[in-house]
Amino acid sequence: MSEKLNRLKEILGEVSDLGRAASVLGWDQQVNMPPGGGEARGRQLATLGKIAQEKFTADEVGELIEDLKKEYTDPETDEGAMIRVAARGYEKARRVPSSFVAEQAVAAAKAFEAWVEARSKSDFSIFRPYLETNVELVKKYISFFPPAEHPYDVLLDDYEPGMKTAEVREIFNDLRPKQVALIKAIREAKQVKDDFLRQSFNEQKVWNFSEKIIAKFGYDFNRGRQDKAPHPFETTFSVNDVRITNRFEKHAPLATLFSAMHECGHALYELGGNPAYERTPLESGTSLAIHESQSRMWENLVGRSLPFWEHFYPSLKKTFPSKLDGVSLKNFYKAINKVEPSFIRVNADEATYNLHIMLRLEIEIGMVDGSLDIKDLPEIWNAKMRDYLGITPPDDAKGVLQDIHWSYGSIGYFSTYALGNIVSAQLWEKINKDIKNLDDQIRKGQFAELREWLRAKIHVFGHKYDPQDIVKRVTGSKIDSAAYVRYLTKKYSDIYGL
Amino acid sequence: MSEKLNRLKEILGEVSDLGRAASVLGWDQQVNMPPGGGEARGRQLATLGKIAQEKFTADEVGELIEDLKKEYTDPETDEGAMIRVAARGYEKARRVPSSFVAEQAVAAAKAFEAWVEARSKSDFSIFRPYLETNVELVKKYISFFPPAEHPYDVLLDDYEPGMKTAEVREIFNDLRPKQVALIKAIREAKQVKDDFLRQSFNEQKVWNFSEKIIAKFGYDFNRGRQDKAPHPFETTFSVNDVRITNRFEKHAPLATLFSAMHECGHALYELGGNPAYERTPLESGTSLAIHESQSRMWENLVGRSLPFWEHFYPSLKKTFPSKLDGVSLKNFYKAINKVEPSFIRVNADEATYNLHIMLRLEIEIGMVDGSLDIKDLPEIWNAKMRDYLGITPPDDAKGVLQDIHWSYGSIGYFSTYALGNIVSAQLWEKINKDIKNLDDQIRKGQFAELREWLRAKIHVFGHKYDPQDIVKRVTGSKIDSAAYVRYLTKKYSDIYGL
């Protein structure tokens, strides 16, 4: 049996190597590649993806998994978990013909171009036929799988293994009215001033400050680096080489600090992985939502907290004396937590962000189950914006066309962002029970105990437990928005005197 | 037939993609990778290499080549040339068992470690057993091939397809006494002063100046970039993404300029390739010697010439007024061409460099044909240094242990450096016949006609012609040192008043 296990590990190790080689190529594409390199890079990535897929879906892999399944039945053992996760991936991958993967890639490339044009002209009708094709392809993808409770379950499962549409809907339905009510209350309260955040800050100094923060978080620059890229992201080449990117935007200079903390949160998850899981299906974080719970925790629950800035604000003021002179800690804290309903999801504050996601989830479900006509999307979008946030997008670019996701046929992804926020607050309550003086530690710039808690409870398990299972294991309950509501209510009651 | 050709191209295209993906990983390793990333990177590169090898040596490839060989018999056509080059590579690759490749890699890794220790302690005896193993493995490698005129032919052929040991020996035997005599004459002449080159120069300004020069040469920063790395090198990710690295050494600050020109010469060869050859065996330069002829031409025949500095010296002086104040153009030109026998090959000047190579070639041949006992290497090395250069290395580190090549079992490589010098001068004579006012152009900082000549005569052909064939095609004669002797004699007669 151990011979078969070794053979399976050998093949899956190569599949992992190919995937991580592709990640290096992808990172280089964003960070370093001269413009001329794009065409060949696309081909190289396609080849790596094709070979990895061929290796992973080979008959031999299926036979090995079948044999090993009978032997390693306990999912609490690493071998059992590995075979369970490999089997699920294998079964999925075998259901989808490679010709379909190619068809979808071609459609995505065309739809992406149309989306770029449509967004620049703020005209949904340009994008509409391509979105219709993408949705048809997504339906075809769903048809490769056994009928689910809801067709959207098939999509969701690719990002949140084991999670059902009904569960997400229930969580969101519970949360939505509370967030809508909170925003209304905030709108009626005295508003927060944040104009000093939009001054001109020295880029290099902001960058250095961002690295000072994440070094304190425990990001190890011997096992990673931060580079400039058009969009912030985290990428993993191995448990000992986890890189992040960041950017500097003149109109929001301090956003760089929060992006660094966010990506560092992702990176700590990967850096905290079990080295023994390297090159197996258990490597890396278990789902996008759990990943996002880590990034949002470091960005928001830590990085936008008062104790955090009690520690860092004096040195920030020292770094930018002329900019922050006369701005008290309290007012700085309020400014970086200002709530203001706005059109663009990626710029949304903590109180409004999830509502952007819920809107998208409802539209995605409607597109997939056919209850919604794609031609009506702009209207539906704008109506929901009014209902949830009380504002109406002035045009499609600031409305239905703002996100890239649908252009490349990615449907099922969005809810993971909101789930990540929700999980971060659940974990935070549990952490604060386990680490009684966490606020004091943060106030002193000490993050080791928090980081090691996350590592021991979540990071080291990699893919071993599905998202709902790891949340239950750690907090005692499944994913549930109550903690997030408590967190938001307390925070904004203090800030806005509700 | 065209179906078979397409299938062969498809497979070879994937092999190329894998190789170039590996180049990206290798570049990143030198330029960006945090220390922690090394272990996994080694595994990833091994996997890419293994898969490429498996794909290339598959039975199907051999069958396709056999069938296509009968159809495409004219090597002047691209298809004919492609199949010829593919067949040669395939036949070689099939002869070498993958278990041997793995054995050699393991031995190389151990030998490399021993070499690092031996060099740091300047003690050849530490490295000796590992070198003996490496040489045994090289002999085993040779045994996989049909008996050649000389066993060393097998090794040479991997770097210089079609070239024989006897040919190289003849070229070198002709050249050696002339270079030895030249060096003697120079030693007896009035020496050149170059102490002002060893002042402290601002690193960023030198770096910027190097990029100013190569931009003028025609290095396109939209299709490449220059980064810092421990050693200068050129690497190709596609015909539109050809990168170079460089370094700054405090003890030789202007060496950065010449390294940039050298690597730019390699890069222009790759950037000038025929895009139609991409992802086929015809992509990239045809051999190391021809590649080196390009790098050495831009570095030496252009970059260390008087016309070149007539153009660039005024702006160099402007960039470093306090450093070069009072140094005339003529004295600067003399200083960057100073001849001084020295121990370390990579620091050698144009007049002495080839002698370092000849010494190595003779030792390599002796190791391979058994006429030399490896335990005697330090003595043999030092005796040859006395004969050729008139100096005796004070220790093994500055003698037999200085080069990395033998540590990783690379034997057969060295002569390509000297052949490159020789070919560069042959091409230069021909170019100056075709472009009558080349010196005037260089004096004006114009390099386009030179670059396009090289492109049309050499670069676009990629691997289509073997090294001897392309030299013959362009200059009318095979590789021959006469032009190089004329070049050296004229240059140093002027500088040293011989």
A212 within domain boundaries = yes
The C-alpha angle with vertex A142 and arms to A137 and A143, in degrees rounded to 5, equals 95
B251 within domain boundaries = yes
Give the separation between CA B365 and CA A430, rounded to whole angstroms: 71
B167 and B275 in a single domain? The answer is yes
B249 and B302 in a single domain? The answer is yes
Give the minimum alpha-carbon distance from B467 to chain A in angstroms, rounded to a whole number.
27
CATH code of A469's domain: 1.10.1370.30
Mean per-residue pLDDT of chain B: 96
B329 and B365 in a single domain? The answer is yes
Q: Give the DSSP letter of residue A286.
A: S
B272 and B397 in a single domain? The answer is yes
Indicate if B263 belongs to the active site: yes
Using the 3D structure, point to which of B95, B114, B146 is the last residue of a domain.
B95
Give the minimum alpha-carbon distance from A125 to chain B in angstroms, rounded to a whole number.
35
Q: Phi-psi region for residue A462, left (φ > 0), alpha (ψ -120 to 50) or beta?
A: left
- Say which of A160, A263, A292, A299 is annotated catalytic: A263
B111 within domain boundaries = no
Give the separation between CA A423 and CA A468, rounded to whole angstroms: 10
Which pLDDT does position B76 carry in this prediction?
A: 94
Parallel, antiparallel or unpaired: strands A226-228 and A234-238? unpaired
Which pLDDT does position A1 carry in this prediction?
A: 67
B303 and B367 in a single domain? The answer is yes
Q: Which of B24, B34, B43 sits opposite A25 (nearest CB)?
A: B24
CB contact under 8 A, B47 and A17: yes
Residues of A in contact with B278 (CB under 8 A): 40
Alpha helices in B32-164 (DSSP H): 38-56, 59-71, 78-95, 98-121, 124-143, 151-159
Residues of B in contact with A17 (CB under 8 A): 43-44, 47-48
> Could you read off the pLDDT of A320-369 as tens digits, one per residue?
999 999 999 999 999 999 999 999 999 899 999 999 999 999 999 999 99
Q: What is the share, in percent, of chain B residues with pLDDT greater than 90?
A: 97
Is residue B437 over pLDDT 90? yes
The alpha carbons of chain B give a radius of gyration, in whole angstroms, of: 23
- Strands of the sheet containing B234-238, edge to edge, are B226-228, B241-246, B234-238
Residues of A in contact with B17 (CB under 8 A): 43-44, 47-48
Q: Is residue B328 classed exposed, middle or buried when 0-12, 13-18 and 19+ CB atoms within 10 A define those classes? A: exposed
A85 within domain boundaries = yes
Domain, as residue range, for A402: 131-498
Tokens of residue B497, six digits: 């008043």
Which pLDDT does position A403 carry in this prediction?
A: 94
Residues B441-445, mean pLDDT to the nearest whole number: 98
Q: Which residues of A touch B (CB under 8 A)?
A: 13-14, 17-18, 20-22, 24-25, 28, 32-37, 39-41, 43-44, 47-48, 50-51, 220-225, 227, 237-241, 243, 278-279
Closest CA to A115 of A372, A409, A358, A417: A409
> Could you read off the pLDDT of A254-273 as tens digits, one per residue?
999 999 999 999 999 999 99
A82 and A167 in a single domain? The answer is no
B268 within domain boundaries = yes
A215 within domain boundaries = yes
Q: Which residue on chain B is closest to A44 by alpha carbon?
A: B17
Distance of CA B456 to the CA centre of its chain: 21
Q: Which of B24, B33, B225 sits opposite A241 (nearest CB)?
A: B33
A53 and A190 in a single domain? The answer is no
CB B202 within 8 A of CB B322: no
CB contact under 8 A, A21 and B224: no
CB contact under 8 A, A34 and B238: no
CB contact under 8 A, B13 and A47: yes
Phi first, then psi, for residue A218 (nearest 5°) are 115, 10
**Which of the four pLDDT bands, split at 50, 70 and 90, describes residue A395?**
very high
Using the 3D structure, point to which of A69, A95, A121 is the last residue of a domain.
A95
What proportions of chain A, in percent to the nearest 5, are helix, strand and coil? 70, 5, 30
Using the 3D structure, point to which of A95, A119, A150 is the last residue of a domain.
A95
> Could you read off the pLDDT of B270-318 as tens digits, one per residue?
999 999 999 999 999 999 999 999 999 999 999 999 999 999 999 999 9
B117 within domain boundaries = no
Residues A404-425, mean pLDDT to the nearest whole number: 95
Q: Which of B24, B47, B223 sits opposite A34 (nearest CB)?
A: B223
Tally of domains within chain A:
2
B175 and B225 in a single domain? The answer is yes
CB B392 within 8 A of CB B268: no
Which pLDDT does position B130 carry in this prediction?
A: 97
Tokens of residue A486, six digits: 């408590």
Q: Phi-psi region for residue B342, left (φ > 0), alpha (ψ -120 to 50) or beta?
A: beta
Give the minimum alpha-carbon distance from B6 to chain A in angstroms, rounded to a whole number.
16
Is residue B1 over pLDDT 90? no
Alpha helices in A57-77 (DSSP H): 59-71
B353 and B215 in a single domain? The answer is yes
Residues of B in contact with A243 (CB under 8 A): 34
Give the minimum alpha-carbon distance from A302 to chain B in angstroms, rounded to a whole number.
27
Residues of A in contact with B227 (CB under 8 A): 32
Q: What is the share, in percent, of chain B residues with pLDDT greater than 70?
A: 100
Q: What is the share, in percent, of chain A residues with pLDDT greater than 70?
A: 100
A90 and A188 in a single domain? The answer is no
**Which of the four pLDDT bands, split at 50, 70 and 90, describes residue A102?**
confident
Residues B398-407, mean pLDDT to the nearest whole number: 95
Backbone CA torsion sign across B217, B219, B220, B221: negative
Residues A132-138, mean pLDDT to the nearest whole number: 97
Q: Which residues of B touch A (CB under 8 A)?
A: 13-14, 17-18, 20-22, 24-25, 28, 32-37, 39-41, 43-44, 47-48, 50-51, 220-225, 227, 237-241, 243, 278-279
Name every residue whose Cβ is closer than 8 Å to that of residue A398 and which is 6 or more positions away in sequence: A122, A343, A344
Which pLDDT does position A408 carry in this prediction?
A: 87
B91 and B127 in a single domain? The answer is no
Mean per-residue pLDDT of chain A: 96
A12 and A149 in a single domain? The answer is no
Q: Give the DSSP letter of residue A11.
A: H
B32 within domain boundaries = yes
Residues of A in contact with B26 (CB under 8 A): none
Is residue B403 over pLDDT 70? yes
